Structure 1
Amino acid sequence: MKAAVQTAYGAPEVVTIIDIPKPVPKPGEVLVRIVATTVTSGDARLRAFRIPAAFWLPARLFLGISKPRKSVLGSEFSGIVEAVGAGVTRLKTGDRVFGMHVFDAHAQYKVVPQTAAVTALPQGMDFAEAAALPFGALTALHFLRLAKIAPGQKVLINGASGAVGSFAVQLAKHFGAEVTGICSARNLDMVRALGADHVIDYRQTDFSRNGIQYDVIMDTVDTVSVAQFERATPPTGQLIASNAGGGMMLRAGLRKLLGGRQIIVGVAGELLADIETLRDLAAAGVLQATIDSRVPFTEIVKAHALVDSGRKRGAVVVEVSAP
Structure 2
Amino acid sequence: MKVITNRKYGPPEVLRLEEWETPIPKENEIRVKIINTTVNSGDWRVRKPDPNIARLYFGLFKPRSVVLGLSFAGLVDTVGTKVSTFQVGDRVVGSTGMKMGTYAEYTCIPETGIVTKLPKEISFAEGAGISFGGFTALDFIQKCNVQTNQSILIYGASSSVGSAAIQLAKHFGAHVTTVCSKGNIPLMKSLGADEPLDYDQYFSTNHTKEYDIVFECVGKTEIQNNLKHLKKGGNLVLVGASFRQMWQALWISIFKRIKIHFGPIKESIENLNFLLTLATLGKIKVNIDKVYPLEEMAEAHRYVEAGHKKGNVVIQVEKTK
Q: How does 1:1-323 map to 2 (within 5 A)?
A: 1-51=1-51, 56=53, 59-102=54-97, 103-206=100-203, 209-323=206-320
Do the aligned residues in 1 keep the contact of 2:152 with 2:215 (CA within 8 Å)? yes
SS at match of 1:300: helix
Give the counterpart letter for 1:43 in structure 2: D
Superposed CA RMSD in Å reads 1.5
Bigger shift: 202-211 or 65-74? 202-211
CA offsets 1:133-164 (integer angstroms, 9 cap, x no match): 10000000000100111000010001110010
Compute the displacement of 1:117 (Å).
Answer: 1.2
Q: Distance in 2 between matches of 1:270 and 1:175?
A: 20
Do the aligned residues in 1 keep the contact of 2:33 with 2:106 (CA within 8 Å)? yes
Q: Distance in 2 between matches of 1:253 and 1:66?
A: 28
SS at match of 1:234: strand
Do the aligned residues in 2 keep the contact of 1:122 with 1:282 (CA within 8 Å)? no
Do the aligned residues in 2 keep the contact of 1:7 with 1:67 (CA within 8 Å)? yes
Do the aligned residues in 1 keep the contact of 2:185 with 2:196 (CA within 8 Å)? yes
Q: Distance in 1 between matches of 2:250 and 2:291?
A: 39
Do the aligned residues in 1 keep the contact of 2:223 with 2:249 (CA within 8 Å)? no
Give the counterpart letter for 2:171 in structure 1: H
Compared with structure 1, are the counterparts of its residues 207 and 124 closer, same or farther at alpha carbon in structure 2 (3 Å cutoff)? farther
Q: TM-score, normalised by structure 1?
A: 0.95
Bigger shift: 60-69 or 169-178? 60-69
Q: Distance in 1 between matches of 2:299 and 2:252?
A: 41
Compute the displacement of 1:243 (Å).
Answer: 1.3
Q: Distance in 1 between matches of 2:114 and 2:309?
A: 26
Q: Distance in 2 between matches of 1:208 and 1:264?
A: 27
Compute the displacement of 1:259 (Å).
Answer: 4.2
SS at match of 2:292: strand
Q: TM-score, normalised by structure 2?
A: 0.95
Compute the displacement of 1:208 (Å).
Answer: 7.4
Compute the displacement of 1:120 (Å).
Answer: 1.4
SS at match of 1:43: helix
Q: Distance in 1 between matches of 2:208 and 2:3?
A: 51
Do the aligned residues in 1 keep the contact of 2:131 with 2:272 (CA within 8 Å)? yes
Give the counterpart letter for 1:90 in structure 2: T
SS at match of 2:231: coil
Give the counterpart letter for 2:130 in structure 1: L
Q: Distance in 2 between matches of 1:263 and 1:291?
A: 30
SS at match of 1:311: coil
Do the aligned residues in 1 keep the contact of 2:179 with 2:202 (CA within 8 Å)? no
Runs of 4+ in 1 over 6 A off after TM superposition: none
CA offsets 1:268-300 (integer angstroms, 9 cap, x no match): 122111111111111111111011101111111
Compared with structure 1, are the counterparts of its residues 178 and 293 closer, same or farther at alpha carbon in structure 2 (3 Å cutoff)? same
Compared with structure 1, are the counterparts of its residues 303 and 107 closer, same or farther at alpha carbon in structure 2 (3 Å cutoff)? same
SS at match of 1:38: strand
Instruction: Flag structure 2 segments of 5+ consecutive residues without an equivalent.
Output: none
Q: For this pair of structures, how many residues does the alignment match?
A: 318
Give the counterpart letter for 2:26 in structure 1: K
Compared with structure 1, are the counterparts of its residues 208 and 234 closer, same or farther at alpha carbon in structure 2 (3 Å cutoff)? farther
